[in-house]
Amino acid sequence: MRSGGQWAVLAALLAGVVFAWPTYVRYFGLHPGPMLLALSIAFVMYLPSLWAIRYVDRDEPEPPLLFWGSIAFVILFAPITSRVMHTIIDAGLLRYWIVVGPLEELTKLLPLLLVARFIPSAVNSMRDCIVYGALGGLGFAIVEFGANFAVSGFATEGWSYLRTAVPARWALGTDSHIIWGATAGVGVGYLLSQRRLGWNVLLGLGIVALVMATHGFNDLYGKYIGPLAMVLLLEPAQAADIDLTTLGDDTPLAAALLVYSVVANTLVMNLLLWPVLAWGIAYSGGPERTADATLGKSA
**134 found inside a domain:** yes
Residue 262's Cβ-count burial label (10 Å; 0-12, 13-18, 19+) is buried
How large is the average pLDDT for residues 16-41? 96
Q: Which amino acid is at 182?
A: A
**220 found inside a domain:** yes
Residue 3 predicted with pLDDT over 90: no
**167 found inside a domain:** yes
Non-local (6+) Cβ contacts of 108 within 8 A are 74, 133, 136, 137, 139, 140, 177, 180, 181, 184
Q: What is the pLDDT of residue 297?
A: 47
| Domain that includes residue 35, residue range | 18-283
Q: What is the pLDDT of residue 240?
A: 79
Residue 38 predicted with pLDDT over 50: yes
**201 found inside a domain:** yes
DSSP string, 54-101: HHHTSSSPPPHHHHHHHHHHHHHHHHHHHHHHHHHHHTTSS-HHHHHH
pLDDT in tens, 134-162: 999 999 999 999 999 999 999 889 998 99
**54 found inside a domain:** yes
**290 found inside a domain:** no
**1 found inside a domain:** no
Non-local (6+) Cβ contacts of 115 within 8 A are 66, 70, 122, 123, 132, 296
**110 found inside a domain:** yes
How many structural domains does the chain have?
1
Percentage of the chain beyond pLDDT 70 is 94
pLDDT in tens, 187-210: 999 998 877 777 888 999 999 999
pLDDT in tens, 238-281: 887 787 777 777 788 888 888 999 999 999 999 999 999 999 99
Number of Cβ within 10 Å of residue 44's Cβ equals 10
Q: Are 39 and 154 in contact (CB under 8 A)?
A: no
